[in-house]
A = this chain, B = another copy of it.
C-alpha cells in the first residue's frame, strides 16, 4: 500500500552501500546498545518529536530485528531470574495471535503465556502486553489487570497518524515500534524500543546479542534514510505531500470502502470508533486501523471458513483468543488486492 508513495519520492530514499562499509559487528562501542547505528538513533528521536507520538527524553533506544525480536528481548529482560516458576505473560483478548506462539515457542522456564488478561487473577508478578491501537481490533488500550506487581510492555506499532489520532505523547516505561507498520518497510526487519530503565535496556541488548549478535547494519542505514525523508517532508514546504498525509488519505478511503461493503452485504459488522483530535494532523477523525476486525452476524459460527468459501483469506478469532465469529483482515494490501477484497465482501449475501 505504501509502495506508491515511495515510488513517487524517487531517488530521495535510495541508499547506496559500498562493499567495504558497515562490515563490523559494532556500530558504536561506547553506547549501551552497541549495535545501534547512531544516524538511525538520531532519526528515531527526530521522527517521534516531529509526530509527537512518544516521549524520547531519558529513554534508551534498543534496535531489534523487527519489534518481534524486541518483544522477546523485553520478556528476557523483565523476567525475574530467581523465581522457581515462570512469570505469567498476559494480554487482553482479542490479542495479537503471535504473542502466545512467540512466548511459548521454546517452552522457557523464565516466562509462559497465561492468556487473556481480563480473566487473569493469579497473585504475584506478571507481564502484561498492552497493544495500542490494538491488533486485531484497532481500539486504544490501557492495562486491564488490577495487580500490584504487573510489568507492562506497550506495543505501539500502530500509534501513527495514518491509523489513529495522535492525542498525546506516549510516556510508558517500555514502548515498541517498527518500520513495517510506520513506513511500510516490513522487509527491513527493523524495530526499536524506547526504554526508561537502564538495566532493562542493557538486558534487552544482551538478549539481542545472544540471539543474533546485533541487527543488520544495512537495514538500519536504510531505515534511517526513510525516517529522515519522512521528517524532512513534514518540515519542508510541501507539508501536504507528507508521508502521513498520503497514508492517512489512503486509509480513510479504504475504511470508507470497507464500511460501504459491509453495509451492502448486510452479513457482517465492524466497530465504530469514537472520533478524536489528532494533534499532529490537526483534525478530528475516527481511527482507521491497519486491520479490519469483522464479525459475521447471524448464524455463521466459523467466519474464517465461510469467507474462505468466498475466496477471502482471513485469520479467525480463535487465534486471537476470542470467538470464531470474528476474523481479521489486513487493510494494508496492495491497491488491486484491496479492491478485489471489498468487491467480494460487498456481494456476499446470506
Q: Which residues of A contact B (CB under 8 A)?
A: 2-4, 6-7, 9-20, 22-25, 27, 65-66, 68-69, 72, 76, 98, 101-102, 105-110, 180, 184-190, 207, 210-219, 222, 225-226, 229
Contact = CB atoms under 8 A, between A and B. Distances in A.
A222 B187 CA distance: 14
A109 B6 CA distance: 45
Contacts of A187: 22-25, 27, 214, 216-218
Q: How many identical chains are in the complex?
A: 2
15 contacts: A7-B19, A9-B20, A15-B16, A16-B16, A23-B185, A25-B186, A65-B215, A68-B211, A68-B212, A76-B106, A105-B210, A186-B213, A187-B217, A189-B216, A218-B219
A310 B121 CA distance: 58
A-B pairs with lowest CB-CB distance, top 7 = A13-B19, A6-B20, A107-B109, A187-B217, A216-B216, A6-B19, A65-B212
A109 B98 CA distance: 20
Nearest to A105: B210
A216 B219 contact: yes
A87 to B, nearest CB: 12
Contacts of A24: 186-187
Contacts of A216: 65, 187-190, 216, 218-219
B222 A218 contact: yes
A277 to B, nearest CB: 31
Given A9-B20, A68-B213, A101-B210, 9 more contacts: A9-B19, A22-B187, A24-B187, A66-B212, A106-B110, A108-B109, A188-B216, A189-B213, A218-B218
A210 B97 CA distance: 11
Nearest to A76: B106
A22 B183 CA distance: 13
Nearest to A81: B107
Contacts of A101: 210
Contact of A189 (B106, B110, B215): B215
A271 B292 CA distance: 64
Contacts of A190: 216
A2 B15 contact: no
Given A16-B16, A19-B6, A66-B213, A207 B105 contact: yes
A193 to B, nearest CB: 14
Contacts of A69: 211-212
Nearest to A103: B210
Contacts of A218: 15, 187-188, 216, 218-219, 222
A305 B110 CA distance: 34
A305 B154 CA distance: 43
A163 to B, nearest CB: 17
